[in-house]
Structure 1
Amino acid sequence: MGHSQVEKAATRARVLQLASRKVRTEGVTRLGIAELMNEAGLTHGGFYKHFASRDDLIAQAAAVALAEGTAKMERAANKNEQDARAGLIDAYLTKRHRDAPATGCALVSLGASAGRDDSQFKDAYELQVRTYLELIEGLDDSEDARAEAMLTLSALVGAMLMSRAVTDQDFSEELLETVAERLKQRGAQASPVLA
């Protein structure tokens, strides 16, 4: 790859990374191309050297945001050698995660937008849901591992969404702590597979 191609790829990656953070914090409808390009240190006109359209950028930025979560989920599951599922729950339902939507789980911030979308964005969202379900299911060797994975993922995403949406910080923390505690109690009834 020539020097200019390397620079173009690096610039594109930088814009995508910035856009992925913005869609997680502001949503897909508020993403402005001129503002994004300015923040990236580029001109608005340079946008079309990297992306076919705003929708193209949003679909790719959402895919980046969603995919970043896979490695985080895997690391979280590996933190607790005795109970990988509990490790994942403890790492996910934290104040730190709640307070950092720009780098947090994109399933939380992009769910409503994906539900209204018909494009590649919705496909990327579904792929990430399926990926997380497989990961969580793999931590459980019970007969109903898939159903438990669906319940766990739904509770994780829902608790995080609500904890970010309420104004009372004590209530927000109660949501995170209570859901984490109950999910771990359910998991203790099954035999988790060590990651």
Structure 2
Amino acid sequence: MPRVSREQMQSNRAAVVQAASELIRERGMADVTVDAISARAGLTHGSFHKQFASKQALLLEAICAAVDQRRAAVQKTVEEHGSDAPDVLKDWYLSEEHRDNPATGCAVAALVGHAATVTDDALRDAYCRAVGDLLAMIEDGGTADAFGEVALMVGALELARATKGTPLSARFLESARQRLSRQE
């Protein structure tokens, strides 16, 4: 069997991290298996073990990747929308698009229910850094009560996801958008 090049190994690793990042946002950390990650990445189960010391190590890297991706998207929004960026970001956060696509959305909301039961300190710290990033984004928009806004946004988004397919879902998103616009 031919040896895999260094470039291919890096590409495979990036694919596994991206797949894990998407899957943990879709399913949560506890419900993601190495087989599912490998399948999403289009690689074999064995490739995982060559790249990562443990599933926990991969999950940590995947959370960091999710946070980095969201940070880059926020930065792009700031560059494109300037002083309107906080409103644009809040509208996106509380959108049906974000509700329906957790794999590419905010890790804070997607993992909120799972983070409470995480016993690994490194994973908990990574999640807390993601919360800090979200708070900083809201504070940068000049918000006096970033903690309240983040709680409203994350809660409304997760309630909308939990009630998707019912009239409640859209109402949670709309109500939160209205509440945020009244606070400004």
Do Structure 1 and Structure 2 share a fold, with TM-score over 0.5? yes
Query: What is the CA distance between 1:42 and its match in structure 2?
Result: 2.4
Partner amino acid, structure 2, of 1:163: A
- Mark the CA change 1:57 to 1:81 in structure 2 (over 3 Å): closer, same or farther: closer
State the partner residue of 1:152: 149
What residue is the counterpart of 1:20 in the other structure?
A: 21
Deviates more, 1:99-108 or 1:34-43: 34-43
Deviation at 1:38, TM superposition (A): 3.3
Tell me how far apart the structure 1 counterparts of residues 76 and 148 of structure 2 sit (CA, whole Å).
21
TM-score (norm 1): 0.83
Query: Which residue of the partner structure matches residue 193 of structure 1?
Result: none
Cα root mean square deviation, aligned: 2.0
- After superposition, residues 1-195 of structure 1 pair within 5 angstroms as 4-76=5-77, 81=82, 83-117=84-118, 118-140=120-142, 145=144, 148-187=145-184
Structure 1 residues 145-191: Cα deviation after superposition (integer angstroms, max 9, x where no partner): 3xx1111111111110000001453211111011101111101xxxx
Residue 180 of structure 2 aligns with an amino acid whose one-letter code is L
Structure 2: gaps (5+ residues): none
User: Matched residues in 2 for 1:37 and 1:93: separation?
Assistant: 31
Q: Is the 8 A contact 2:16 2:48 kept in 1?
A: no
CA shift for structure 1 position 72: 2.6
Percent of residue pairs identical? 34
Q: Which amino acid letter does the alignment assign opposite residue 94 of structure 1? A: S
| 1:22–1:102 contact (8 Å) kept in structure 2 | yes
Q: Which amino acid aligns with 1:69?
A: R
d(CA) in 2 for partners of 1:79 and 1:151?
A: 26
Give me the TM-score of the superposition, normalised by structure 2: 0.88
Structure with more helix by fraction = 2
State the match for 1:191 in structure 2.
Answer: none
Displacement of 1:31: 1.2
Q: Deviations over 1:80-111 (max 9, x none)?
A: 55644322221211111111111111111112
Give, in angstroms, the shift of residue 15 of structure 1. Answer: 0.7
Residues paired across the two proteins, number = 180
